Amino acid sequence: MARNLVEDRKRLFAERNIELHFEPSESLPLVRGDERMLTQVFANLMTNAMHYTPAGGRVSMASRSVQEDDEDWVILMVEDTGLGIPMQEQEKLFTRFFRGSASRKMGNPGTGLGLAICKEILDRHGGRITVQSRPAQGSIFTVWLPSASAPAQMGFDFDPRIEDQPSREEPSPSAR
């Protein structure tokens, strides 16, 4: 899924003279989730990184499996060499309609809903999103999703390593 997003956006990043790099882990466990909703999260993070990284900068995505507090997680990190986010704004980033000083300074379009929606999607998946940032040094947004070995939060599994996932729709009432 992330690989497809990177491929789809390479041209946009190249047009802005921003290097786009992807470091996928080849040994990720399955995660439970809605692929369309999770694609929305990753697309939003990539778009934000592109908007706030100046020409000549770099955006990197990486995925890996980690264990924290005896739980297995799949994480995807989006790191940029952009403007960074002041500490006092970081706690508000995931609040609806919050637009930071960088968005006002650069005149980037938006409503301040993107990161709030990302957080809500991840909450519904039993996951979370974190940020590390320093002004003038860039930001790292990390998406945490429980591995499929964790208790189920959604109705189906998908494999983040596979580029095209078959749709797993509910059977019609007559097929049950």
147 DSSP assignment? B
Q: Do the domain assignments include residue 160? A: no
The whole-angstrom separation of Cα 110 and Cα 118 is 14
- 8 Å CB contact between 153 and 32: yes
Q: Is residue 97 part of a domain?
A: yes
Q: Give the total number of structural domains in the chain.
A: 1
Which range scores top for mean pLDDT: 78-92, 98-112, 137-151?
78-92
Residues 7-58: pLDDT tens digits? 999 999 999 999 999 999 988 999 989 999 999 999 999 999 999 999 999 9
Range of the domain at 113: 2-149
pTM of structure: 0.83
Domain of 54, CATH number, reads: 3.30.565.10
Residue 111 is assigned to a structural domain of this protein: yes
What's at 122, amino acid-wise? Answer: L
